[in-house]
Structure formats: C-alpha cells, structure tokens
Chain A
Amino acid sequence: MYKGLLVALASLWLAGCVDTNWRTAETHEIMPPLDFSLVDENGQAVEAEDYAGKVTLVYFGYTFCPDVCPITLARLAGTLNRLDDDVRDDIQVLFITVDPARDTPEVVKRYTGAFGDEFVGITGERSEIDALTNRMRVTYEYETPNKRGDYIVNHTSAVFAFDREGEARFLIRDSHPITDAVADINQLVTES
C-alpha cells in the first residue's frame, strides 16, 4: 500500500502537480494566475502584469472596516517585519477594496500608508472587481445600510500569495501561525 502511495506521489511530482510543501494552504492547483484590470492608489489604470517581478500578497477588504481589515493588515505588517530587508524589497501587498463606491484611490492610499511601504491600495470598477473575485472564487456581500447610510461588507478573510510570475501559490488564514506565514513567504521570495 505504501509502495502504491509512493508511486502515486512520485508520478504527481514528475507531472509537476505537487507544489512546494507549504506550511500554509496550497492554492496552485485550485486558483488561476493573478489577472485584473483595476485602478491603483494614484488613480492609474493597472493590470496584474504591472506587479510581476515581485512576490504579491493580495487581501480583499474595505476601509470602512474598523476591526478585521486593519488587524489583518497589521498582522501582515508584523509578518513582513520578521523578514530580512532584501526579502521584503521583493514583496508587495495589494489591498484590493470590495467597496469601490467609498474607497476612492485617495482613500485606499491613505489607508494602506498606515501599514507600510509595501502596501498598495487598489480600487476600480465594481464589474472589474467582480471579474477578479469570481475568477478567484472568493466572495463578498453587502449588508443593508443603516440610517446614516453606512454599510458593512462581509468578505473573504484570507491573504493570497502569488509568485513573481503571478501564479497562485498559497493562502494564509488567520489560523495559521505567523511563523508559518514567515517561513512560506520567505521560501517563495527566495525560490527564484
């Protein structure tokens, strides 16, 4: 039985179907490469290819989120702080809003600026954001506005890691220890 399992694993490996043994969750098999046409925090139209060359970490959120989003970004900033400077230079974090009506380029720029130079705010047309989230099979949903017109957006809580070519590699959940995220990001940056 073990022999059969080994053969199966070996053939998978040879076929290139087994990604690196990440401590976080592997996504290469289940998620397409990063692909979008959005607007960056300076109001410039950008495409996923513009971010090729560096390891890209993607987080979907919105700036009206007082708790989960800033805490996740702060945790990510803390994770990046544990990496060597030359490794960090090869990483960018895209904070892609799922609430473009409130999150203009100026708003996302000011927001991401609180977390570090690696953090870039991205907004754009709702239809383009939907195209991206549908492709990545991640979801978000708006709740009914309150009397002030404020509304909550429920959104995916993971951080998605893409390699320098924009290939999906792994995702980091809240439940993953920071040490695991540090190890995997470090490996992804240094593998190429």
Chain B
Amino acid sequence: MAINLFTTSRRWAGGLLVALLTTGYVYGQDLQVSDARASLLPGEQPGAGYFELYNAGDKAVVLVGADSDAFETVELHVSAEQDGMAHMHAVEQVEIAPGERFAFAPKGHHLMLIGREKALSVGDEVDVQLEFADNQRLSVTFDVVSPVSL
C-alpha cells in the first residue's frame, strides 16, 4: 500500500512537472487571454466570468472547464435568447481554431462562479485556472467588477 502510494505520488509529481513545463511553453505564447472580468453580485449569488481568448498557435485548443480556489465550483455556461425567453445551460467544451478569437461575453458564453470561498470586493483580483483538453491549464487573473460596469 505504502509502496503503491509512493509510486503514485512520484508519477503525479512527474506529470505535474511535465504539465508545468509544457503549460509555460505552449499556452504562454500561443493562447492569449484579455479583458478578464468577474462580476460580483450581492450576497451569495453566483457571478459570471467574462474574457476573450485568442488562439495565436497553429493547433485548435479546446477549453473543457475551469477551477478556482476562490469559488466552490466554476462551470462553463452559455445564455441564449429564443422566442423572447432567456435560456441558460452548461456547455461541455469550447473549441477555438488557430488564429481565432472567442469571447466569453455578457448574454453569451460565460463562466458561472458559484459559492464564494472568501469575501470579495469590487477592485479585487481572483485567479481562475482554465482547463483544456490534453490536460493543459492556464491561470488567468480576473478583475472583480460590479455588474453595473459591464
């Protein structure tokens, strides 16, 4: 048991090292994030994360999720209007082709930031890890803003 655990954690550590090295190389240059804002709603109500992704690389990237120490859960969602009704649902993934920009913007795709782990104020910054297929991660700093400013 002890040996298994040791082996597992060594494998984990190795994997993590590779992930860190490749993250720095691949997404540091080829994937650019701009205009990252997280709306802060009163009380315990969930907020939304907005940003723009630019894939400057020559391979498609697939965003599959997000995670943050600042929130219990972060989900990828999309809002849409159909026949005068506002709909929202979770999305599994978003693919961004080489050379394409993809906006997470009000009333469209957004991160749903659920369950604040600590108090936040307008003007704070929160880090969110964007998770991609092939286990790549990209840490993005979001400015905490009032919904009225969006």
Q: Does A3 contact B (CB under 8 A)?
A: no
Do the beta carbons of A157 and B86 come within 8 Å of each other?
yes
Do the beta carbons of B88 and A65 come within 8 Å of each other?
yes
Do the beta carbons of A66 and B107 come within 8 Å of each other?
no
Alpha-carbon separation in the docked complex, A78 to B45 (Å)? 22
Residue of A nearest to B75 (CB): A146
Query: Which one of B12-20, B36-44, B95-103, B124-132 is at the interface?
Result: B36-44
Do the beta carbons of A114 and B107 come within 8 Å of each other?
no
Q: Does A33 contact B (CB under 8 A)?
A: no
Do the beta carbons of B86 and A70 come within 8 Å of each other?
no
Q: Does A155 contact B (CB under 8 A)?
A: yes
Do the beta carbons of A66 and B85 come within 8 Å of each other?
no
Most A CB within 10 A of own CB, among B85, B147, B149: B147
Set of chain A residues within 8 Å of B86, measured between Cβ atoms:
65, 68-69, 154-157
Set of chain B residues within 8 Å of A131, measured between Cβ atoms:
none
Q: How many B residues face the partner with a CB closer than 8 A?
A: 30
Residue of B nearest to A69 (CB): B86
Query: Which one of B2-10, B58-66, B76-84 is at the interface?
Result: B76-84
Do the beta carbons of B88 and A152 come within 8 Å of each other?
yes
Query: Which one of A105-113, A162-170, A176-184 is at the interface?
Result: A105-113
Set of chain A residues within 8 Å of B137, measured between Cβ atoms:
none
Do the beta carbons of A70 and B43 come within 8 Å of each other?
no
Set of chain A residues within 8 Å of B33, measured between Cβ atoms:
none
Alpha-carbon separation in the docked complex, A143 to B88 (Å)? 10
Q: Does A150 contact B (CB under 8 A)?
A: yes
Do the beta carbons of B107 and A174 come within 8 Å of each other?
yes
Alpha-carbon separation in the docked complex, A62 to B147 (Å)? 15
Contact mask for chain A residues 97-132; partner B; CB cutoff 8 A; 1 contact, 0 none: 000000000010011011100000000000000000
Alpha-carbon separation in the docked complex, A107 to B41 (Å)? 11
Of B43, B84, B106, which contacts A67 at CB under 8 A? Answer: B106
Set of chain B residues within 8 Å of A64, measured between Cβ atoms:
45-46
Residue of A nearest to B88 (CB): A152
Q: Does B150 contact A (CB under 8 A)?
A: yes
Residue of A nearest to B78 (CB): A67
Set of chain A residues within 8 Å of B41, measured between Cβ atoms:
63, 66, 70, 111, 114
Q: Does B119 contact A (CB under 8 A)?
A: no
Q: Does A73 contact B (CB under 8 A)?
A: yes
Binding site for B on A (CB under 8 A): 63-71, 73-74, 77-78, 107, 110-111, 113-115, 139, 143, 148, 150, 152, 154-158, 173-174
Between-chain CB contacts (< 8 Å), 27 pairs: A63-B41, A63-B43, A63-B45, A66-B47, A67-B77, A67-B88, A68-B88, A70-B39, A70-B150, A71-B106, A71-B107, A71-B147, A74-B147, A74-B150, A107-B43, A111-B42, A111-B45, A113-B42, A114-B147, A115-B147, A148-B73, A152-B88, A152-B89, A154-B85, A154-B87, A158-B84, A173-B84
